[in-house]
Copies of this chain bind each other. A is one copy, B any other.
Amino acid sequence: MTETAVPSPSAPDPGTLGIICGGGAFPLVVAEAALKAGRKVFLLPIYGFAEASSVERYPHEWIHIGAFGRLSAALRRNGCRQVVFVGTVLRPSITRLRVDWGSLKLIPRVLGMFRGGDDHLLTSVGRIFEEHGFELVGAHEIAPDILVPPGVLGGRLPSSEDIDAAHFGQEVVRALGPFDIGQGVVVGGRRVLAVEAAEGTDLMLERCRDLRANGRIKFRSKAGVLVKAPKPGQDRRLDLPSIGPRTIELAAEAGLAGVAVEAGGVIAANIEDIVRIADEKGLFIIGLDR
């Protein structure tokens, strides 16, 4: 079933959009996009992750992570058949999950979910929602503008060596796909300098900065490319990789020449801001073809 901007008369009313909100600017962007498209929204900010300032202007109900019973009741009560997950949620600790009666019978599955990578965890969470009658949609389906577009996005042009490094980085992310590892690498020439796993993109970039400062990575000024791309086979409704202003700032601190992301496969809450910072810092930023 394909969805179009104007629903055909026979399409069922999608109803209020339930937005489960983690941290960062994305929940706001998605809520605004849905409202602009004429949808009603109901936000479910997660304690400890969502920011009150971004969510409290909308109808909302705070939830504890893991409290699936309360969450699904709140979704039903507010007429939400379609649900979107958006924003940062660091992998929770099993012991900190606030398990309620609704999630109790899910415990054996939850324990299994925690054994794999992030993608495995998210896919399992997604499946549970679907089994309970909710339809999961991707944040980028509600707010297509968050997808980073293809091409050279800023004022700085990458060298042919940078483009070669970016494609090499894409291949590395692809090879790591089956292992559900992070979606970022830093490549200099054809040398992989860093691979992202549990630490996340920001800490990987800080590591590159430190390795450079202490001489373990030796390059002339401004070399190396941060490459981000979704894992092949990843459920794009749940966890597209993202970039933000901090990504560019840390890439600059690491002395990189630029940032390359898979166009249409990486999200940014405000790409104009990001491009402006890249221009200021003298870094290129490009959207790569898949």
What residues of chain A have their CB less than 8 Å away from a CB belonging to chain B? 90-95, 114-118, 120, 168, 171-172, 175-176, 178-181, 185-186, 189-200, 203, 207, 211, 215-218
A269 to chain B, nearest CB (A): 22
Contact assessment for B190 and A115 in the assembled complex, using a CB-CB cutoff below 8 Å: yes
Cβ contacts under 8 Å, A216 to chain B? 90-91, 198-200
B199 touches A194 (CB 8 A): yes
Contact assessment for A116 and B193 in the assembled complex, using a CB-CB cutoff below 8 Å: no
Task: From the candidates B93, B172, B207, name the one contacting A179 in the complex (CB within 8 A).
Answer: B172
Identical subunits present: 2
Cα separation A175 to B178 with both chains bound (whole Å): 9
User: Is the CB–CB distance between B197 and A193 below 8 Å?
Assistant: yes
* A179/B175 in contact, CB under 8 A: yes
**Once bound together, how far apart are the Cα atoms of A143 and B187, in whole Å?**
35
- Output the least CB separation between A185 and chain B (Å): 8
Within 8 Å CB of A176, what residues of B?
172, 175-176, 195
23 A-B pairs with CB atoms under 8 Å apart are A91-B216, A92-B218, A93-B215, A93-B218, A94-B218, A115-B190, A115-B191, A120-B190, A172-B181, A175-B175, A175-B178, A179-B192, A180-B192, A185-B197, A192-B198, A194-B197, A194-B199, A195-B195, A195-B196, A198-B216, A199-B207, A200-B216, A203-B207
Pairwise interchain contact A191-B94, C-beta atoms closer than 8 A: no
Residues of B within 8 A of A194 (CB): 197-199
User: Is the beta-carbon distance between A192 and B117 smaller than 8 angstroms?
Assistant: yes
- Taking a contact as CB atoms under 8 Å apart, the answer to whether A197 and B189 are in contact is no
- Nearest-neighbour CB distance to chain B for A214, whole angstroms, equals 10
Evaluate contact between B200 and A191: CB separation under 8 angstroms: no
